[in-house]
Amino acid sequence: MGLEKESEFDADSNYLSDTSSFTSSSHSLSSSSSHQPILSTKPLSSTNRRSRRNLSPHRLIRLCCLALISTVVIFILSLVHAGISSNKRVEAGNIGRRPSPPPEPWRAFPFLTRYYGGLRSLTPIAENTPEYPLKDEPIASDKPSKLNRDVPASKPFEAYARHQSSDYLAEYPTVQKCFLDANSTVALPPLQYYSGRPAGFPNNLLGSYELLGLPEDICFDRFGRLGPYGYGYAEKYGGTGTGEYGDIMGSSNVWKIGSEINQVDFRSVNWDEVQRRCFNSNKVRFEPTDSFHERNSYSSESTRTSDNYDSTKANISSIPKKYLPRSAVVIRVWDDFNYGVEDILHLRAMISELSLGSAGEYDVHLLVQVKDESKYPIWADEESYQRHVNESVPEEFRGITTLWSVTQMLMLYQGIHDTFSRGPDLPIHGPYRGLQMAMQHFAHNHPEYEYFWHWEIDIRYTGHYYNLFSQVESWAQKQSRKGLWERNNRFYIPTTHGSWEDFKHLVRVQTEMSSSDPERLATSLLGLKANTKTEKPIWGPERPEHEEDWFEVENDPVPPKSYDKDQYEWGVGEPADLITFNPLFDPEETTWLLANDFTGFNTSTGSPPRRAAIITTSRMSKRLLASMHRETAFKKHHAFSEMWAPTVALHHGYKAVYVPHPTFVDRKWPVAYFSAVTNAGKGGATGGARTSVFGAREHNLMGLTWYYNAGFAPNLWRRWLGLKVNNDGGEQFELTADESKDGEGVGGMRGGEGRMCLPPMLLHPVKDVILPSEGPASKGTFPTSDPSA
């Protein structure tokens, strides 16, 4: 007991001061006096006094915990105070000074200027020194070496020469020429072109003229391109009353037939009747159909007619050895669209060059969305439907119009789970995310067509439409399926990649080795173990992982031999089920906002394989659209508009082809840098990685002539029309050289070369172009474009 008490005493004394220790010692001595004599008490040693001053472990822990808790509380209170103060500053509009993000590198590249040269500087392409792209050569100056005093003579463009060839006539009957009037007396004049290009005109950075068989040694001015359709002459003669400004020298050649001027009067043209008459004159060239849906029927599904399509009316002796497939060109628009003069010229050009010029191979349609269905109940009766057509569409195009609405798509494609990936205001049945639904339904109602071109109202082409469509379709048909999906996934840049054969070889190597995979490079730099698995080439259908997601696959194409044994034979001569004008990229792992906008698939072990192409413009086959339609209706599968058709083609093994059409850029990009930026995805492709140009890096494509938000395309088109853009160009620029200009940059160009002349090129988007019209109100008035376009 005595030892225990002594231990307790020693422990307690550790928490006492010197004074208290002395007091306690005296207390202990007195309390024990009955047991021990006073003289026998030993004095406290210095070691015991030091030990009493030391803290015990238990009390030390308690003090540490108290200090830690106090620190945490103070830190939390500081954060709360800082948050309240920050919110008050934000509410007051005081966000402080923050460094602005650095500008994109491409914005520092200088603008190219020789796009805006004129007819007086025309140079044969073999003698032309393009301003861009060049390798270690001096850049062409703004001022060409010499200007022609007179504009050279234009020539008629012949787009249908193959119709007269012996090979063609051996397979198909003679083409019957189509006219605008029922009496077959009013024919459209041909387009007019000029040989060569303006001096220093840049070369295309992407794609190839030679590869597709498109003419690159010619150019079109605005009169030669649009003059046949009412541009350049007064309304009293049946024209648009536009184009009578700026440089007009030699423009009358467009309408000359001998010594007479043939300016067509478009005031009474009905394009529906014109197309029907053209087809009826040439229907022996096409396979007879039992019936077709009346395109202006308000029900769009129940009213049928076999008028003029009865095969028994055809001359049996004149039935050809081979039938030609027919195609519908479906132009998407909406009911409150404002049809300007320039839009009307564009539509007339498409119908004339594709339908009339081809003698019925194409029909042009307008697919018009009704936005406000409560205000316009078009499905109530046929009268309401037709009334809204009359109110929404110019008279000459009403007969080729089909209306559709979101409610109609909801009725047709019920039960689809909507993920609302872009918010509640953009439903899956709407024109943004579900636009292909309207195309699927349209194709279902028009079995007379084998192919359907999905076109947009804001696309322009400076060349001849039939020449473009026929060459694109022919090239796509020649492509082998081996390595096709891998080539589709890349931009073709001739300056970097060389010939097409060189490009094919490069893609094969990249696919097998994945040597350019940025993810592998990143993991190597970080010292991590890289994934050495090579990219597997797509050969045949690339189905979803779960068999429950397969739908009607019995008739899908099957490779006739293995990938290794095929000698680039499979697919050659096979028409493409899908043709696009941008790469078919893999959205997986990219920063594209719509990459996961799909529904109806089993995602328990990952996303299904898919592909996408920015801009919905494409050609789709009847069987592709039928698969899309049935899979949406019965399987409840769907994906974003730009992803749905490529994904269905991928799953079913249909032939899909990205066509590398000639595309130009507005600035002097280093070509190698542009190639590295655009083909920055997985294995040197455009997609499959966060480094893809599609997504957060798509701003790099704004300077192209073809992209959904390209600013260069509308500006180039307006300048070509003789309008001012950002206070550059216009009438005086075409007519008079300003020697006070230094020739540096677009704004420093001297002008005086005449009106612009552009080689054939696709431009998108082009919106809200206002052409100055005849009359005192518009005299001397030239609209300018939006600088932020």
pLDDT digits (tens, 9 = 90+) for 431-472: 888 889 999 999 999 999 999 999 999 999 999 999 999 999
Mean pLDDT of 134-162: 72
Domain that holds residue 577: 473-662+668-701
- How many domains would you assign to the chain? 1
Q: Report yes or no on 459 lying in a domain.
A: no
- What pairs with residue 192 in β-bridges? 156
DSSP string across 74-118: HHHHHHHHHHHHHHHHHHTT-----PPPPPPGGGGSPBP-GGG-B
Across the chain, mean pLDDT equals: 85
Calpha distance 552→575 (Å, rounded) = 21
Q: List, in order, residues 6 or more apart from 434 with CB less than 8 Å away.
A: 409, 427, 428, 638, 641
Q: How far is CA 279 from CA 175, 285, 351, 374, 398, in A?
A: 11, 9, 13, 38, 18
Q: Long-range contacts made by residues 386-390, C-beta under 8 angstroms, separation at least 24?
A: 386/296, 386/298, 388/335, 389/296
Q: Report yes or no on 65 lying in a domain.
A: no
The residue among 328 and 48 whose pLDDT is bigger is 328
Q: How far apart are the first and last CA of the chain?
A: 98
Phi, psi of 199 (to 5 degrees): -55, 135
Radius of gyration, alpha carbons of the chain: 37
Q: Report the phi/psi class of residue 435: left, alpha or beta, with left for phi > 0 and alpha for psi in -120 to 50.
A: alpha
Pairing of β 327-334 and β 304-305:
unpaired
Cα dihedral 77, 83, 89, 95 sign: positive
Taking 60 as the threshold, does the pLDDT of residue 592 lie above it?
yes
- What pairs with residue 242 in β-bridges? 773
DSSP string across 536-549: PPP-S----SSGGG
Highest mean pLDDT, choosing among 134-138, 464-468, 600-604: 464-468
Q: Report yes or no on 132 lying in a domain.
A: no
Q: Report yes or no on 556 lying in a domain.
A: yes
DSSP string across 161-207: GGGGSHHHHHHSPPPPP--SSTTS---PPPPEEEESEETTPPPPSBS
- Residue 222, number of CB atoms within 10 A of its CB: 26
Cα dihedral 739, 744, 748, 753 sign: positive
By the 8 A CB rule, do 619 and 452 touch? yes
Report the percent of the chain where pLDDT is more than 70.
81
Identify residue 514 by its one-letter amino acid code. Answer: S
The residue among 78 and 396 whose pLDDT is bigger is 396
Beta strands in 432-563 (DSSP E): 451-456, 460-461
H or E, element range at 522: helix 518-525
Q: Report yes or no on 501 lying in a domain.
A: yes
Query: What was the pLDDT predicted at 305?
Result: 39
Calpha distance 685→692 (Å, rounded) = 8
Query: What was the pLDDT predicted at 540?
Result: 94
Kindly report, residue by residue over 530-551, the tens digit of the pLDDT.
444 446 899 999 999 888 878 8
624-653 as b/e: b if 16+ CB within 10 A: bbbbbbebbbebebbbbbbbbbbbbbbbbb
Calpha distance 368→398 (Å, rounded) = 11
H or E, element range at 362: strand 362-369
Calpha distance 195→166 (Å, rounded) = 27
Calpha distance 461→22 (Å, rounded) = 106
- What pairs with residue 193 in β-bridges? 155
Identify residue 640 by its one-letter amino acid code. Answer: F
DSSP letter at 587 equals -
Query: What was the pLDDT predicted at 146?
Result: 65
Calpha distance 511→306 (Å, rounded) = 51
Pairing of β 724-725 and β 598-599:
unpaired
Q: Report yes or no on 607 lying in a domain.
A: yes
- Residue 440, number of CB atoms within 10 A of its CB: 28
Calpha distance 417→461 (Å, rounded) = 39
Q: Report yes or no on 719 lying in a domain.
A: no
Calpha distance 729→756 (Å, rounded) = 10
Among candidate residues 283, 198, 282, the one with its CA nearest the CA of residue 749: 198
The residue among 150 and 728 whose pLDDT is bigger is 728
The residue among 109 and 152 whose pLDDT is bigger is 109
Kindly report, residue by residue over 22-39, the tens digit of the pLDDT.
333 334 334 444 444 444
Q: Report yes or no on 234 lying in a domain.
A: no
Kindly report, residue by residue over 654-713, the tens digit of the pLDDT.
999 999 999 999 999 999 999 999 999 999 999 999 999 999 999 999 999 999 999 999
Kindly report, residue by residue over 312-357, the tens digit of the pLDDT.
444 444 555 789 999 999 999 999 999 999 999 999 999 999 999 9
Taking 60 as the threshold, does the pLDDT of residue 40 lie above it?
no
CA atoms within 13 A on the CB side of 7: 4
3-state helix, strand, coil in the chain (%, to 5): 35, 10, 50
Kindly report, residue by residue over 88-135, the tens digit of the pLDDT.
776 666 666 667 778 889 999 999 999 999 999 999 999 999 999 975
